[in-house]
Homo-oligomer: A and B are copies of this chain.
Amino acid sequence: MKDLIPEATVRRLSHYLRCIEMMEKCCYGENLQSKDLARMCSISDSVVRRDLSYFGTFGIKGVGYDLKRLKDSIKRILGLTEKKKVVVVGVGNIGRALIGYLSRVDGFEVVAAFDNDPQKIGKKIGKIKIEDAVNITPITANLNAEIAVVAVPSDEAQKVVNRLVKGRVKGILNFALVPLKVPDDVTVRYIELLTELEVLTYNIKKRRKS
Contacts and interface: CB of A to CB of B under 8 A. Distances in A.
A162 to B, nearest CB: 16
Chain A residues touching B, majority SS: helix
Interface in A1-51: 5, 7, 10-11, 13-15, 17-18, 22, 41-42
A105 interface: yes
Contact of A201 (B171, B179, B191): B171
A85 to B, nearest CB: 11
Interface stretch (A60-68, A112-120, A128-136, A192-200): A192-200
A77 B202 contact: yes
B173 A10 contact: no
Interface residues of A, number: 59
In the complex, the count of this chain's copies comes to: 2
A18 to B, nearest CB: 5
B194 A173 contact: no
A154 B23 CA distance: 13
A170 B207 contact: yes
A129 to B, nearest CB: 19
Contacts of A202: 5, 10, 13, 77-79
Interface of A: 5, 7, 10-11, 13-15, 17-18, 22, 41-42, 77-80, 84, 86, 92-94, 96-98, 100-101, 105, 107-108, 146-147, 154, 170-173, 177-179, 181, 185, 187, 189, 191-205, 207
